[in-house]
Amino acid sequence: MTLLSENEDFQKQLLQLVMDTLPQRVFWKDRNLNYLGCNKLFANDAGLMSPEEIVGKSDFELAWEKFTAEAYRTDDRAVIDEGIARINYEEPQVLEDGTTLWLQTSKIPLRSQTGEIIGVFGSYEDITSRKQAELSLKNLNEELEQRVVQRTSELYQAKEAADSANQAKSEFLANMSHELRTPLNGILGYAQILSRSQTLQGREREGVNIIHQCGAHLLTLINDVLDLSKIEARKLELSPTALHLPALLQSVVEMCRIKAEQKGVDFIYQPNPRLPEGIKADEKRLRQVLINLLGNAIKFTEQGSVTLRVDVLSLSETHASILFEIIDTGIGIAEENLSKLFDAFEQVGDEKKQSEGTGLGLAISQRIVNLMESEIQIKSQFQTGSEFSFIVDLPLSKNWVSSQTLIDGGDRIIGYDGQRCQILVIDDRWENRSVVQNLLEPLGFEILEAEHGQAGLELLQTQQPDLVITDLTMPVMDGFQFLEQVRNREGLKHTKVIVSSASVSQTDRQMALDVGGDDFLAKPVDAPSLFHMISQQLQLTWVHEAPTASASDSATVLTELILPPSTTLAALLKTAETGDLKSLRQKLNTLVDEDLAYRPFVDTVLQLASQFMTEEIEKLLEQYLENDLVPVD
């Protein structure tokens, strides 16, 4: 054997060794598709003992089925004839027992040194396990997709049911709110009318105040339920406006002081002297939070005191950081109940006290304070007392003066400057028309009435009133249709129209304004809000009742008063110096019960007491004593 032939044998052995170590099955054929060689793995698949046995054989002589052999040869022939390689394609192989193997195959033309195609070279690997895994994954994905589709359908149906239930709940709450507000409009309206009367005195006036407080409490409960529905729908929003902070706090203090006094609990108000006057905040919501927290403190305090402390943490040219603290000496809250204190409908503490509310106040208050980018904090010790607090950063405002003046003017409104104005009130309920009529006629307004929009439209065309106040829900022609008619008629389209309705949702408000209303007045009608809107629409200047005499001008009225004996005045002065305004009021009311002639004197002092002006009361009583105008004992 020559050296050349020995080298060729070595190369063949080396090539065969390489082929046998590959993880793939490898083969090569001539142009007639007869095998020239293969590696051991391929020989095993073909049912041969060794690779040498395959030389010269065709696929029909190997271990696979005839149709499989034909498929292999067809692929091989295409590669040889076209001279184009086929790389990594997948093909099935059915075995004698019926099982299927999956192969990933690559075939390339086998060329001579001159480039002539002399056969085909191929390789494949068994990917059955991978295919089975892919098939299992595919089946799993299909199953998951079906489950997702099914679950999505179930969720959609559940959402539809929830939306339907929410819609039904919203409609129910809106309808119930409307139905409850309608009689409340009469109750609160006439309470305000009677409170403006000069003939009511003593217990009668106190009774009217109680009626108003009870009606206002019922209205608060209605508003709490509506606010909760807004919270659930994520529709509760703040509407900041310029306001006078001391006036807001004073109104809250006066309201809560009455409740505290009725229980025999001391009410202490501690404002920081640095409190800013004008701020920008949602007055309604800030008032609501303070009244809720103070009301809770009073409700759960049987003896001791409730304190409202308002402090200024920081003050700049544009903002103020204000700390509100409500501190009581009540029953306190057990530690295990603190975590659920702000949950809706949760009520903790004395079960007897729980029946006095809905359990919504604290949940709503927390949400409102959250909208102010803060949080209500609580410290409590069972049977000792509680402390609620929150800090809010509020913008300062200089525009509060004009808006505050328009609302209250400082004293009771008794009329207005200028020519007499005519106002058309359109409402299908006589009691609603009567409330507006009795609030406005004493001020000098001429009131026209209509039971529905059609009748109102006819009156509007013939009488041409200065202002219209219309309801929304009415027979024949409702408020929306009335507004459309007014705004589309050349001679009427500039008429000023205030919409007053017991449908108070933001949607109803916006619809009323969009269709042509100039302002929206919620029922029950609040007299100051009504006066404020009228002054805005008609550009009126109110005439106010002369202010009650104070210490500074009391000298001019001393001779007009019938004063009690000096010993009584001295006793009143001593009580005033202690700051015990509750005892002072009791003594003053006893004086009137004993002799109605003391009414002017008592009213003067009570007016100062209602504003917590203890220093003014002391000066006034001292002046009465010093002027030697009191009866001899």
User: Would you state the pLDDT for residue 234?
Assistant: 60
Question: Mean pLDDT lowest for which of 46-60, 117-131, 545-559?
Answer: 545-559
Percent of the chain with pLDDT over 70: 85
In whole angstroms, what is the distance from residue 429 CA to residue 229 CA? Answer: 28
Whole-number Cα distances in Å, 63 to 44, 54, 121: 10, 11, 20
**Residue whose entry in the numeric block shows the structure tokens 């200028």:** 418
Residue 300 CA, chain-centre distance (Å), reads: 28
Is the pLDDT at 406 greater than 50, yes or no? Answer: no
Is the pLDDT at 574 greater than 60, yes or no? Answer: yes
Contact indicator for 313, 368 with CB cutoff of 8 Å: no
Mean pLDDT calculated for residue range 166-179? 69
Band of residue 233 on the pLDDT scale cut at 50, 70, 90: low
Whole-number Cα distances in Å, 286 to 223, 225, 290, 394: 15, 18, 6, 11
Question: Mean pLDDT lowest for which of 62-66, 355-359, 405-409, 527-531?
Answer: 405-409
User: Would you state the pLDDT for residue 323?
Assistant: 96
Is the pLDDT at 465 greater than 70, yes or no? Answer: yes
Residues with Cβ within 8 Å of 177's Cβ and at least 6 positions away in sequence, in order, are 222, 225, 226, 502, 503, 504
The helix (H) or strand (E) run that includes residue 321 is strand 319-328
User: Would you state the pLDDT for residue 231?
Assistant: 61
φ, ψ of residue 214 to 5 degrees: the values are -65, -40
Q: What is the mean pLDDT of the chain?
A: 82
Residues with Cβ within 8 Å of 418's Cβ and at least 6 positions away in sequence, in order, are 540, 541
User: Would you state the pLDDT for residue 4?
Assistant: 46
User: Would you state the pLDDT for residue 633?
Assistant: 46
In whole angstroms, what is the distance from residue 543 CA to residue 163 CA? Answer: 52
User: Would you state the pLDDT for residue 86?
Assistant: 93
In whole angstroms, what is the distance from residue 423 CA to residue 469 CA? Answer: 7
Could you give the residue ranges of the DSSP H alpha helices within 384-496?
400-408, 430-440, 453-463, 479-487
Say which DSSP state 396 is in.
B
Dihedral over Cα of 208, 210, 211, 216: its sign: positive
φ, ψ of residue 545 to 5 degrees: the values are -65, 145
**Residue whose entry in the numeric block shows the structure tokens 């449908």:** 503
Question: Taking the C-alpha atoms of 149, 155, 161 and 162 in order, what is their torsion angle to the nearest 10 degrees?
Answer: -160
Band of residue 277 on the pLDDT scale cut at 50, 70, 90: confident
Nearest to 178 by CA among 428, 422, 395, 529: 428
What 261-264 contacts at long range (C-beta under 8 Å, 24+ apart), as own/partner pairs, is 261/582, 263/298, 263/301, 263/302, 264/303
Dihedral over Cα of 169, 170, 174, 180: its sign: positive
Band of residue 389 on the pLDDT scale cut at 50, 70, 90: very high
Is the pLDDT at 202 greater than 50, yes or no? Answer: yes
Mean pLDDT calculated for residue range 351-368? 65
Contact indicator for 426, 479 with CB cutoff of 8 Å: yes
pLDDT in tens, 76-112: 999 999 999 999 998 887 766 778 888 899 999 999 9
Band of residue 180 on the pLDDT scale cut at 50, 70, 90: confident
Is the pLDDT at 393 greater than 80, yes or no? Answer: yes
On the 0-12 / 13-18 / 19+ scale of CB atoms within 10 A, 337 is middle
Band of residue 11 on the pLDDT scale cut at 50, 70, 90: low
Could you give the residue ranges of the DSSP H alpha helices within 196-244?
202-232
Could you give the residue ranges of the DSSP H alpha helices within 329-452?
335-338, 351-354, 361-371, 400-408, 430-440
**More confident of the two residues 259 and 546:** 259
Band of residue 410 on the pLDDT scale cut at 50, 70, 90: very low
Query: How many other C-beta atoms can be found within 10 angstroms of the C-beta atom of residue 275?
Result: 16
Question: In the chain, what's the furthest Cα-to-Cα distance?
Answer: 160
**More confident of the two residues 192 and 592:** 192
Residue 13 CA, chain-centre distance (Å), reads: 84
φ, ψ of residue 310 to 5 degrees: the values are -120, 115
**More confident of the two residues 227 and 528:** 528
**More confident of the two residues 132 and 199:** 132
- For residue 545, the number of C-alpha atoms closer than 13 Å in the C-beta half-sphere is 13
User: Would you state the pLDDT for residue 326?
Assistant: 94
Highest mean pLDDT among 163-177, 271-285, 543-557: 271-285
For the residues of 567-601, what is the DSSP string, one character each? HHHHHHHHHHHHT-HHHHHHHHHHHHHH-GGGHHH
User: Would you state the pLDDT for residue 126?
Assistant: 87
Percent of the chain with pLDDT over 90: 35
Q: What three-state secondary structure class fits 382?
A: coil
User: Would you state the pLDDT for residue 470?
Assistant: 95
